[in-house]
Amino acid sequence: FSSLWQGDLSCTFTYSAQGGTNEQWQMTVGVSEDNGLFSCSIWRPQGKSYLFFTQFKAEVKGAKIEHAMAYSQAAAGALNDIPLKQEEFEITETAVAHREGKFRFELSKLMIVAKAPRDEL
């Protein structure tokens, strides 16, 4: 479980997984000044995770998701990103999560782009 903040915007990643291989994971957030886009990425730099994920959810606060993608394998070395099948996960305005009964327990990367509301002057 981890959260990152950028001003009023936050990204939180929660999950349940089996397998304790002490894997290294990274999480970054960023905001583009020009159009108020907020990005959140969670991934395994080594490419493939060997954890057995039973569930996952990445949630944004303070922004609405414009685009999101989940991958069973992240790009690293000669490996390419391999997206999850569309039926394996669902995207709402504020979260990306596994879909019960369809998710095949593999996750190595999550990427979210959300639009932050304009500040009222």
All structural domains of the chain with their residue ranges: 10-115
Q: What average pLDDT does the segment 51-59 reach?
A: 96
User: Could you tell me the pLDDT band of residue 57, with boundaries at 50, 70 and 90?
Assistant: very high
Q: What average pLDDT does the segment 48-76 reach?
A: 95
Q: At the topology level of CATH, where does 10-115 sit?
A: Immunoglobulin-like (2.60.40)
User: Could you tell me the pLDDT band of residue 119, with boundaries at 50, 70 and 90?
Assistant: low
Q: What average pLDDT does the segment 62-89 reach?
A: 95
Q: What average pLDDT does the segment 56-70 reach?
A: 96
Asked if 41 and 28 count as a contact pair (C-beta separation under 8 A), the reply is: yes
- Backbone φ and ψ for 88, nearest 5 degrees, come out as -80, -20
pLDDT at 101: 96
Instruction: Report d(CA 106, CA 82) in Å as an integer.
Output: 11
Ranges 78-82, 87-91, 97-101: which has the least confidence: 78-82
- Write the CB contacts of 24 (distance below 8 Å, at least 6 apart in sequence): 44, 45, 46
pTM, 2 dp: 0.89
% of the chain exceeding 70 in pLDDT: 95
